Amino acid sequence: MITTVAYASPELLQGWPLDARTDIYSLGCTLFHLLAGHAPFSDRPGLDAVMMAHIQHPAPRLSDYVAGLPAALDGVVATAMAKDPGDRYQTAGEFARAVRAALAVGCAPRLRFANPPAAHVDSAAPRQSEATQAAGPASLARVQWARSAGQ
């Protein structure tokens, strides 16, 4: 199993059995990242601290980082990122319906993002040049694929 620790479920990190609810946890992390501008627990110093936060700490509240989101999104993220898979949404459809319902309450016309916590920067991670940023995702994917193939 290959994963990115920023989105890894407690059961994956602990070597427990995995099922679709593991993906729900990762989707909750992804939703948090998309709306907050940084991954949950990215304020923790180092990989071990991030892993322990995923295992031991409740999901951070979106409302602590982004003003103007429906309050119900805090609950959606908390449920998706519940430590016990039985407490999470059981299907992607259930998760999607919960997100839609939370957004139906309405968002403020302008979201105000708080400053994200200082994140650990992986110096080994590939960087985008201005050319690949301007070229768009498809070109970036080709560049990344060529790099991984040693071209």
What is the sign of the dihedral through the CA atoms of 119, 122, 127 and 133?
Answer: negative
71-117 tens-digit pLDDT: 999 999 999 999 999 999 999 999 999 999 999 886 544 455 555 55
**pLDDT reported for residue 118:** 56
CA distances from 67 to 26, 33, 88, 107, 129 (A): 23, 15, 25, 10, 32
Residue 96 in any domain: the answer is yes
pLDDT tens for 122-149 read: 444 444 444 334 444 443 344 344 444 4
What are 21-69's pLDDT values in tens digits? 999 999 999 999 999 999 999 999 999 999 999 999 999 999 999 998 9
- For 65, the domain range is 20-40+47-105
Domain count, the chain: 1
In a domain, 76, yes or no: yes
Inside any domain, residue 6? no
Query: What pLDDT shows up at residue 105?
Result: 80
Instruction: State the DSSP string of 5-64.
Output: GGG--HHHHTT----HHHHHHHHHHHHHHHHHSS-TTTTSSSHHHHHHHHHHSPPPPGGG
Q: Whose CA is closest to 65, among 6, 119, 111?
A: 111
* CA pair distance 78, 83, nearest whole angstrom: 9
Assess if residue 139 is contained within a domain: no
Is 135 inside a domain boundary? no
The reply to whether 100 falls in a domain is yes
Domain of 26, CATH number, reads: 1.10.510.10
* 72 within a domain of the structure (yes/no): yes
pTM of the predicted structure, to 2 decimals: 0.70
